[in-house]
Structure 1
């Protein structure tokens, strides 16, 4: 699973040719969640409220880049890193 970004101990990644809807995976310690790119809702898993807040803020700022990486992943192309939350 290619890593797109890492910030505050949170790792953001995407699988190649993953199932719909377009989403990314967030991991924080032992917590894991799949997050819908459009709604920023949790598809599966769970993150603490603090981690989810940081992930939501980051994803809202980078929706276009996440959409572009989703399309690259579907095509098995190299994904582009996304800037971390600062």
Structure 2
């Protein structure tokens, strides 16, 4: 989804970014979820501007209608659930790809498109 910057003197992307973080706006806007990897039926994605949870870097994993969030820093399960064998695959992948994930996290929380990351093989 693209956002248009209002054509008011002095308005720029910083103002729009501020407005989009207000609850009255964010309750009505769904930010896109860029998929960064897929493996063994698991889809890994990040949200744009998803810097809550005390700005803890994390990813989202979706498997057969179930969702879970995992810390990029240590692979711990933060919320939700997916089957334990699939969660272990996600945690192993996080350990292998941590540096790439942290770089993608920085891009996504700043509204930039993250890169695809190689899947677990």
| TM-score, with length taken from structure 2 | 0.69
Does structure 1 residue 60 correspond to structure 2 residue 59?
no
Q: Answer 1 or 2: higher relative contact order, Cα 8 Å, separation at least 6.
A: 1
The corresponding residue for 1:33 is 68
Number of aligned residue pairs: give it: 86
| Distance apart, 1:47 and its partner CA | 1.4
The corresponding residue for 1:47 is 82
The corresponding residue for 2:41 is 9
| Distance apart, 1:78 and its partner CA | 1.4
Bigger proportion of residues as strand: 1
| Distance apart, 1:83 and its partner CA | 0.2
Moved over 4 A (4+): none
Structure 1, unmatched stretches of 5+, are none
Instruction: Provide Cα deviations, 1:16-56, integer angstroms capped at 9, x if missing partner.
Output: 11022110000110221010110211111011111011101
| TM-score, with length taken from structure 1 | 0.96
Write the distance in 2 (CA, Å) between the matches of 1:56 and 1:36: 9
Write the distance in 2 (CA, Å) between the matches of 1:79 and 1:14: 8
Report SS of the residue matched to 2:112: coil
Structure 2, unmatched stretches of 5+, are 1-32
Instruction: Provide Cα deviations, 1:49-71, integer angstroms capped at 9, x if missing partner.
Output: 11011101111100000000010
Write the distance in 2 (CA, Å) between the matches of 1:4 and 1:44: 19
